Structure 1
C-alpha cells in the first residue's frame, strides 16, 4: 500500500512548502526544456557544414591612399603576387567574405524586371575565374567561367552575362534539376548559369531564407578599399599571413593592410553572440536544476524535523525502515508529478511564445518529455538521502518527545 490518503493529509498540513516546491519544479521543467532545445538548435547551427576549408582561408582589406597607380592593373598584379607566394593555393579580389555577416544580396528572377515572375533572394560574390578555386567549393555540374567572361570596369557600364549558382538556389527555380544553362535575371540583366555549386554558405548563416543560396558573378570592380580572399595549403595559413603586409607593400607602398583575419575567426566573431547565449543557457539550466534539487532536499529535511515524533511513533508501532523511505518518496513524487503537469503546459506555452516573438524553431515535444523525466529522476535522487535519514530515527524518539 502506498498510503496515499495519509500522505495527502500530511501535505495539506504543510501545503506552503509543497506549493512552493511544485511551482519550482514547474518553472524548472518549462525553462529547462526550452533552453535545452535552444542549446541543441544552436549547436547544430554552429556546427553546420559550410562548404569551405575555414582553417586554410583568410581575408584582408587594402585601403589605397596613393593616386599614382591604375587600380585595375594593381589588383591584377596583387592577385598574381599572392598566387605566387609559397603555401598559397589561390587568391582573388572579392566583394564579400563568406560567413562574415556582411556582404551583398539581391533578388534573382526568371523574367526581367518589371515582368511578373518567380523570384528568390540570394547573396552574390563578385570575383574572377579564380574565385571558385579560392573558395574551395565543389562544382557539381557545368563549368567555371573563363577569363574572357570576366568583366572588369569601374562604373558598372558593363555587366557579366554568365554566372555560377548554388544548387539550393537553382532547385528553388527549377525543382526538376534542369537549371544548368538556364537564364536568371538580376534586375533586367540576363545571366546564363554555366555552373552549379554544391554546398556553399553565404555571408549570413542566420538568414535561413538565403544562407544556402548564392551566385558568383565574373565581375571585378576595383576601388580605393579592396578585399582579398586567400586559400592556403593545410598548415600554411599562419606563415602566409605573417608575410602578407610586407609582400603587399613591396608591390605598392601607398596603402594600408587592414582586417587580416582567418575565415574561421571571422565566422567565430559572427556567431559570438550565439555562443555566448548558449553558454548562458547552460549556466541557467545548471543553476535551475541545482536549486530545484536543493529545494527538494531541504523540504524533505524540514518535513523530517517537523515529523520526528510521528516517525518515531510509526517506528515504535513496527513500521519498517523501507516503509518510512517509501512514505517520503511517494510524498515527493506526488508533488513532483503535479509540478511536472504544470511545467509541461508551461513549456509548450513558452515555446510558442518564443517561436512567435523571437523566431525560435517550434519546440520539439521530445525535449519536454526528456526534461520531465530528468526532473522526476532528479527529484527521486534528491529525496533518497533525507528519507533514509528519517528511516534511521529510533523508536525511542517517540517516547522522549511526548
Structure 2
C-alpha cells in the first residue's frame, strides 16, 4: 500500500512533465537497445579472438621468401634450407608449409562422403607440409600421422609428374560433421577426383581464415612436401623461450644460403594471430567506446533532469518536509521516480534491442542476441540511473522545511 501511495503522486507529476519525461524515456530506451547489442557483439568478438588453436603458439614462426629466378634443383635447395634451419641452436623443428591457423593465407576446397557429382560437400581448409601437424603441436586423438613414404612434392603433382594424395588427417569437429557418431578412421573422402582415406584425427586445427566460429576447425591435412615457389613458407618451431632469437637466426641463415632471395615477411605466430584479429579488436574497442559514451550521456541526462526538477520543486519539497517527510522519504521519492522512468525506457529498449538484432542478423549475418543480454543491459541502466540521480536526490533531501514559508 505504501509503495502504491508513493508511485501514484510520482506518476501524476510525470504526466504534468510529459514531454521531458518522454525524451528521457526514449534516451534510456535507445541506450538500452544499443548497449545490449554492443555488449553481446563485444563478447562475441572477444570469444572469437580467444578461439584455441591447439598448437604451440608461443614457439612458432613463419618466414615467407621470394626467389629471384629458378636456379638448380628446387627440391634439393628446399631440403638444404630446412637442414640449415634445423641445425640452428634455438630451432626444434622446421618445414615448408602452406599456412597457419588464423594467418589469413588460406587454401580451401570441398570434400564429400560420396563420389557422385553434385553430392553434398563441406568446405574445408587445406594444410600442406611435411610433418606440419607434428611441428605445430596438434594433438592426435585417433589414428596416426603420415608416414614418410606417403608424402609427395606438390609442384610435381601440379606439373602432372605425381599422383594426388591418398590419405588425410582431419580434425575431430570435421569428423563429427562428416561421419556423425561413426568411426572416421579408414573412412573415405572425395575431393575433386582425389580419393582420401582418413588415417588420423586431430583434436583441433582452426583454418587460416576461420570460416565461422562453429566451423573454425573444419580442416584437413594432406601429405604434400612444398617449396617456396609453390606457395610455401618456412614454418619453424623454436625451443622454449627462444622464439625471437630463433626468428632472427633463421632469417640470417636463409639469406646466408642465398643472398639474392627476398624475405617477404618474417613473423612470430603471436604477431601473425594479432594481425589477423586486428579488425575484431578494433571493432570491440569501438563498440565499448560507443557504449561508454552512451551511458555517460544518459547519466548526464538523468542528472540534468533530476537537478532541474529539484530546482523546480524546492517549495513543494519544503512543504513535504514541514508536513513530516524525512530526508529519507525525499531521497526515496526521487529514486523511485527515476526507477519508474528507467523501467519504462528499459521495457521499450528491450523491444528495440531485439528489433535491431533482427536487422543485424538479416543484413550482416550476425548471430541472434541471447535473451540473457537483455536483463544484463537492464541491470546496467537501472544501476546507472540510481547512481546518476543520487546527487540531485541528496540535494533535494537537504532542503529545509523553512523553504515552504518563502516566496
TM range (shorter): over 0.9
**Residue 278 (str. 1) matches residue 284 (str. 2):** yes
The alpha carbon displacement at 1:206 in A equals 4.5
SS where residue 122 of structure 2 aligns?
strand
Distance 2:404 2:114 in 1: 91
Partner of 2:124: 122
- Between the aligned partners of 1:340 and 1:41, the Cα distance in structure 2 is 23
CA distance in 2, matches of 1:187, 1:209: 25
Q: Report the Cα offset of residue 221 of structure 1.
A: 4.3
2:88/2:249 contact within 8 Å kept: no
User: Which among 351, 373, 392 is matched to residue 379 of structure 2?
Assistant: 373
Contact 2:61 2:236 in 1 (8 A): yes
Residues 66, 255 of structure 1: 8 Å contact kept: no
Match of residue 20 from structure 2: 17
Q: Is the 8 A contact 2:327 2:398 kept in 1?
A: yes
The verdict on how the C-alpha distance between 1:352 and 1:113 changes in structure 2, with shifts beyond 3 A counting, is same
Unaligned runs of 5+ in 1: none
SS in structure 2 opposite 1:333?
A: helix
> Tell me, what secondary structure is at the counterpart of 1:140?
strand
Output aligned runs, 1:130-141, within 5 Å.
130-141=131-142
CA distance in 2 between counterparts of 1:384 and 1:207 reads 45
Instruction: Say which of 196, 219, 240 aligns to 1:191.
Output: 196
Give yes or no for contact 2:318–2:400 (8 Å, CA) kept in 1. Answer: yes
How far 1:217 sits from its partner (Å)?
1.0
SS at match of 1:365: coil
Match of 1:75 among 60, 68, 78: 78
Find 1:218's aligned residue among 217, 223, 227.
223
Q: State the alpha-carbon separation in 2 of the partners of residues 180 and 263 from structure 1.
A: 31
**Separation in structure 1 between the aligned mates of residue 67 and residue 6 of structure 2, nearest angstrom:** 84
The answer to whether residue 344 in structure 2 is matched with residue 364 in structure 1 is: no
Extract structure 1 runs of 4+ deviating beyond 6 A. Answer: none
SS of structure 2 residue aligned to 1:177: coil
Deviations 1:257-305 (A, max 9, x none): 2210111111111110110111111111211122212211111110011
Task: Find 1:324's aligned residue among 330, 338, 344.
Answer: 330
Deviates more, 1:232-241 or 1:158-167: 158-167
Measured against aligned partners, the alpha-carbon deviations of 1:133-162 in whole angstroms (never above 9, x if no partner) come to 211101111111122111124352221211
Counterpart contact for 1:315–1:395, Cα < 8 Å: yes
What's 2:357 paired with? 351
Per the alignment, do residues 223 and 265 of structure 1 end up closer, same or farther by CA in structure 2, a change over 3 Å counting?
Answer: closer
Alignment of 1:373-392 (within 5 A): 373-392=379-398
TM-score w.r.t. the length of structure 2 is: 0.93
**Whole-angstrom CA distance in 1 between matches of 2:316 and 2:240:** 73
Point out where structure 2 has 5 or more consecutive residues left out of the alignment. Answer: none
Q: 1:186 to 1:228 in 2, by over 3 A?
A: same
**Does the 8 Å contact 1:97/1:203 carry over to 2?**
yes
Instruction: State yes or no: 1:203 paired with 2:201.
Output: no
Is residue 2:100 matched to residue 1:62? no
Matching residue of 1:240: 246
Contact persistence 2:300–2:388 (CA under 8 A): yes
Deviations 1:93-135 (A, max 9, x none): 1122321122101011223352x5342111111212x212211
For residues 338 and 243 of structure 2, the distance between their equivalents in structure 1, rounded to whole angstroms, comes to 59
Q: Distance in 1 between matches of 2:256 and 2:200?
A: 37
**Contact conserved, 1:34 with 1:363, CA < 8 A, in 2?**
yes
- Distance in 2, matches of 1:230 and 1:246, equals 14
- Structure 1 position 169 matched with structure 2 position 174: yes
The 3 A distance-change label for structure 1 pair 32 and 281 is same
SS at match of 1:60: strand
Aligned-residue CA RMSD (Å): 1.7
For the 8 Å contact 2:226–2:232, the answer to whether it is kept is no
Distance 1:132 1:387 in 2: 64
Give the Cα separation in 1 of the matches to 2:170 and 2:249: 33
Q: Report the Cα distance in structure 2 between the residues aligned to 1:67 and 1:369, rounded to whole angstroms.
A: 64
SS for the counterpart of 1:383 is helix
Displacement of 1:230 in angstroms is: 0.8
Asked whether the 8 Å contact 1:109–1:187 carries over to 2, the reply is no
Distance in structure 2 (CA, Å) of the matches to 1:188 and 1:314: 88
Contact 2:48-2:213 within 8 A present in 1 as well: no
Aligned mates of 2:297, 2:200 — CA distance in 1: 57
Q: What does residue 315 of structure 2 align with?
A: 309
Conserved? CA contact 1:201–1:214, under 8 Å: yes
